[in-house]
Chain A
Amino acid sequence: MIEVARCLVRYRGLVWTLVLRELRARYRGSVLGFLWSLINPLLLLAVYSFVFSQILPRDVVSAEPYGVFLVTGLFPWIWVSTSLLEGCSSLTGNSALIRKAVFPVEVLPAVAVVANLVHFLLALPIVAVALILSRLLGYPIAGWTFVLLPVVLLIEVVMVAGLVFALSAVNVHFKDVRDLLGNVLVLAFFMAPIIYTLSDIPPGLAQVVQLNPFTSFTVAIQDLLFFGRLPVTGDWLVMAAIAAASWALGAGLFSRLSDTLAEAV
């Protein structure tokens, strides 16, 4: 576990170079280019806002304004889910590279996580504008608590990276992982308080939702950005424990399998 972390620190230059490659290549050839990092989440937001305020009864969710609440949960989720999906196939998708070039394989899953984190960070100005506008319109939301956002993100990066290491390594042996993951992520999305708050659902169900490892991160970010309050100590401990366990599992599994990856991939 430590070796994987050490390797990533040592090859941070390579990770960053490959992240830039991903970012540059993604929108090459499209007219709007980098703007898509902003437009994509906005369009998705528009769809969700429309569905959950117009089609479904809108008095279900207590948070107001709903669109802004949605942003604070949805944008981090997009980062997490695309990181997991891309990271899962980061080894199988680069099999030519792994078979032909001698370099630390650890960087590939890390690149998937970091590249998507950069996309999320680029979309943060939208969140900021939405929060400021809401304040100006008189909604009693947000506050200086947002300065703690980097701390939550740091813990969440560790958790997501751990999962990506585990998924990518097992995906080399069982390509089924990727398809399964897509469906698990849909379930995880609805089982996390992203389109609703925990207080909007029956208490029994809320307990189930809290078993979802992504729930505590989602709630923490919503607290810091939307509700303008600090997560309690217990929340921080739960997040740290989830991140540590995820990293131990993922990095441990990965370093056990890394010797045989070039051959199996």
Chain B
Amino acid sequence: MPGPAVVLRGVGKRYRREAGGYRLRTLKSALLEGSLTSGLGAADAVEALEDVSFEVAAGEAVGVIGGNGSGKSTLIKLVAGLLRPTAGELAVNGRVAALIELGAGFHPEISGRENIFINGALLGLSRRRIEERYDDIVEFAGLADFIEEPIKNYSSGMYVRLGFSVAIHTDPEILLVDEVLAVGDEEFVHRCITRIEEHLAGGGTLLFVSHSMGLVEELCDRAVWLDQGRTRSIGAPRRVIDAYLEDVAKREGEAHDRRRALDVQQEQESQPEEEEEAAVTAPAAEEEILRWGSGQARIVGARLLAGNSSEERYHVHCGEAVAFELQVEPREDLDDFVFGVGVKTPRGVDCWGTNTDLAGYEPRLLRGPVRVRLVCPELRLAPGEYTVDLAVHARDGRAYDYRRRALRFTVAESSALRSIGLYLPDHEWQVEALRGGSADGAAKPPAAIDWLVPRDPRRME
């Protein structure tokens, strides 16, 4: 039975406010007590973390989620040893690699090759070890052609790839990842995730900070939800993520209601006769409201299923069979209800939408929780990113529960089927001669294949 890799007991972290200008006092307390904040009162300090307690077992993957400023990065930095807790106990057993800011030690004027050695040395690798790993590092970063260039000429993606590659090749026992995957391109992110999965499969430990709920669920055994420096919930990722998303939606919904109440009030005060019109147009005009509705029925779960085995997925291929699944719980018996699904691009362009009313279904009775599936044997969307709105509403459009961007998925790029736009029907190109090539008409027109030849014969089949 291996011991825990990371133990936090009542860990707290205070930062001093710099605006106060207590330079002499902070220098004094740093000198005498080894702390920047001991001499400060509540008004001069900020509590970034308070009373955080949990353990990460060796070989376990734990995700940390929460809004901006919830203390996620502070937590990672404490575990990495960059910061010291101001309260509680923190124990870390094992060699740590922190993927926090990648390539922090890179020098822009010198080559990628030299930077690999310097960054490796900073991360604690001996020169011999870096030499052994050098080829792997370059190959993983995909920078073989540019490795002799000074890295000031690198793109930001190349920079991050090199930083990630060096850090991941330090053979850590405990891997700390703070939102670094947000920068790379899709292919590199996949490679990183594969690498993290290998790390886990080899018995490594992971502490993972991300705003990508899908990744946290995919990679982690448990999730920790931090809210304003305190732990709100710890447990199975699905449960913690749901609780978090629900909380976010609730807060946004309340903000939306408040704004709307204010709008309506103002409309009534200024132009009482146009009140109805204002109320109807309100939802579309607002920004970033993710959920609204009367709550008579609620969508409590949503998944995208794909492939023959109907597994839950975030990536699908063009032409693959998919199903959009909703779990709906009515608060009361309903005889007027419509289920709807709308697929959009991240910028909000409608790609495809339908509902049970448009499709010609009559509602009879909705009693107790149900699972609803919209099944498409062939989803012919072009490669790209999509979001899905899900809704349960009355036939006149009154929402019981409308969840904007309830699901997010990507359609994978495929080299064989490239196109632009959103829709990718089955297609092929044909060319036909209109008139014979010679004057007497005896010569037969050449076959179309002579004019337009497939580069890769498989592509046309």
Contacts and interface: CB of A to CB of B under 8 A. Distances in A.
B262 interface: no
Contacts of A29: 109
B107 A103 contact: no
A99 B82 contact: yes
B209 to A, nearest CB: 14
Given A102-B80, A263-B15, 10 more contacts: A13-B121, A18-B121, A97-B122, A99-B104, A100-B101, A101-B82, A173-B30, A256-B34, A257-B30, A260-B34
B104 A100 contact: yes
B126 A13 contact: yes
Contacts of A58: none
A101 B122 contact: yes
A144 interface: no
Nearest to A28: B109
A97 B105 contact: yes
A28 B150 contact: yes
B26 A101 contact: no
Nearest to B84: A259
A117 interface: no
Contacts of A100: 82, 100-101, 104
A25 interface: yes
B183 interface: no
A142 B320 CA distance: 87
Contacts of A101: 82, 98, 104-105, 122-123
Contacts of A135: none
Contact of B26 (A14, A97, A264): A264
A174 B27 contact: yes
Nearest to A170: B27
Contact of A260 (B23, B30, B105, B117): B30
Interface residues of B, number: 33
Contact of B27 (A18, A21, A102, A173): A173
Interface of A: 13-14, 17-18, 21, 24-25, 28-29, 96-97, 99-103, 170, 173-174, 253, 256-257, 259-260, 262-264
B104 A97 contact: yes
B11 interface: no
B83 interface: yes
B31 interface: yes
B372 interface: no
B118 interface: yes
Contact of A103 (B27, B122, B127): B122
Contacts of A24: 109-110, 114
Interface of B: 15, 23, 26-27, 30-31, 34-36, 80-84, 96, 98, 100-101, 104-105, 107, 109-110, 114, 117-118, 121-124, 126-127, 150
Nearest to A259: B34
Contact of B23 (A21, A103, A174): A174
A170 B26 CA distance: 11
Contact of B104 (A28, A96, A170, A256): A96
B100 to A, nearest CB: 5
Contacts of A253: 31
By Cβ-Cβ distance, the 6 closest A-B pairs, closest first, are A100-B104, A100-B101, A25-B109, A173-B27, A28-B109, A260-B30
A264 B98 CA distance: 20
Contacts of B81: 102
Nearest to B34: A259
A154 to B, nearest CB: 25
Contact of A102 (B34, B96, B109, B110): B96
Contact of A13 (B27, B101, B127): B127
Nearest to A27: B109
A260 B35 CA distance: 6
Contacts of A17: 117-118, 121, 127
Nearest to B105: A97
Contacts of B126: 13
A228 to B, nearest CB: 42
Given A18-B118, A173-B30, A263 B83 contact: yes
B432 to A, nearest CB: 60
A24 B111 CA distance: 10
B164 to A, nearest CB: 13
Contacts of B96: 102
Contacts of B114: 21, 24
B217 to A, nearest CB: 28
Contacts of B124: 103
Contacts of B15: 263
Contacts of B98: 101-102
A102 B107 contact: no
21 contacts: A14-B121, A17-B118, A17-B127, A24-B109, A25-B110, A28-B109, A29-B109, A96-B104, A97-B104, A97-B105, A100-B100, A100-B104, A101-B104, A103-B123, A103-B124, A173-B23, A173-B30, A253-B31, A256-B30, A262-B83, A263-B36
